[in-house]
Copies of this chain bind each other. A is one copy, B any other.
């Protein structure tokens, strides 16, 4: 009786969310400390103090009518200017408030831009492994997701496959950089190759192909890695951002879309995206957190916290004989499984280790371990990982707790 699409989704609810709820169930039985929940990208480090201080100051000093009131659907103009200025300082761009559309997180932003661009039947390409929600976002508006097979050596975008499979119905390509679930950072080289194929294909088919870069993990990079800013590499780029990770505010739903004036149909897309923000029911990004994000625009969490987790977990797991991709960004560790990933996930769950199978990212044979947990969780999980390793005859003996 309900939407057929939604009916299908109720049958295969998000493995990530299911694991998150499983974690809550196990925590109720065994105690939170005895469950090693690496399932969800829910930052365990608190927002910087500046967030609280700014919030309290705004609440006590500002007129509540404007603080909590409606503003243009794109967001407070002053907030958008502040965000634009910050990008301009960092990337040498020339954005104004009319290039920044404040959104209900990155997920809200992606829905807004897909609603804006897609006609039913339009295709959107993604590179496996990929954040599965992209498929749902595309399907919301009758679009068709085309999943490109992973490059199992590098987990970089498989540009050759993209070139082979791209067609006249391809309206957009979504990338996620740094990548969820692999932690890989797409560098300048691969982005330039990707851009050059897109440009060639645009010319060949006489269409615009938009590159949508989903960048909630932009600030979370390690070992001096840097995330290229794409609007200056490929003209038809639209960037989505969220403060969920950089300021540890995932529940507050605050982010933006950057829609450069140089993209094809820029003004039309800007106007339509503002309307899409309204008619999808977001109306506007939450007002108080728009102002907080602007005041804290150059703040971020201390990346060293995540880096310590990354190193501890990577060296422990590789020490046990597991095969992992060394993450350069985000807060995910991508680990090869010694048997089918879905079985391995169950074996891990028996040790109260909660992780998400690679199958959920269209890349079986791996798991995603979200290490945005407290250092204590990592430390306490090691014996459980060792027991798991032993089941698979990996070299656990090498590793000392």
Contact = CB atoms under 8 A, between A and B. Distances in A.
Interface string A212-249: 00000000000000000000000000000000000011
Sorting the interface of chain A by its residue count into under 10, 10 to 19, 20 to 34 or 35 or more gives: 35 or more
A362 to B, nearest CB: 17
A157 to B, nearest CB: 23
B68 A248 contact: yes
Given A2-B269, A251-B286, A287-B252, A281 B142 contact: no
Given A65-B44, A69-B250, A282-B253, A272 B2 contact: yes
A264 interface: yes
A112 to B, nearest CB: 8
Nearest to A288: B252
A142 B4 CA distance: 13
Contact of A251 (B107, B115, B250, B287): B287
A334 to B, nearest CB: 21
A65 B52 contact: no
A350 interface: no
Contact of A7 (B70, B110, B272): B272
Nearest to A141: B3
Contacts of A9: 272, 275, 279
A75 to B, nearest CB: 10
How many copies are assembled?
Answer: 2
Interface in A1-43: 1-4, 6-7, 9-10, 13-14, 17, 20-21, 40, 42-43
Contacts of A253: 104, 282-286
Contact of A17 (B73, B116, B264): B73
Nearest to A62: B52
A282 B108 contact: yes
B46 A265 contact: no
A155 interface: no
B21 A268 contact: no
Interface of A: 1-4, 6-7, 9-10, 13-14, 17, 20-21, 40, 42-47, 51-52, 55-56, 59-60, 63-65, 67-73, 104-105, 107-112, 115-120, 133, 136-137, 140-142, 207-208, 248-253, 264-265, 268-269, 271-272, 275-276, 278-289
Given A3-B116, A68-B252, 14 more contacts: A1-B265, A2-B117, A3-B272, A42-B70, A56-B56, A71-B251, A105-B283, A110-B281, A140-B140, A140-B279, A251-B287, A252-B287, A253-B283, A286-B289
28 contacts: A1-B207, A1-B264, A1-B268, A2-B268, A3-B115, A3-B119, A6-B116, A6-B276, A7-B268, A9-B272, A9-B279, A13-B275, A14-B275, A42-B69, A44-B65, A47-B68, A52-B64, A59-B59, A68-B249, A70-B250, A104-B253, A104-B282, A109-B281, A133-B278, A133-B279, A252-B287, A253-B284, A280-B280
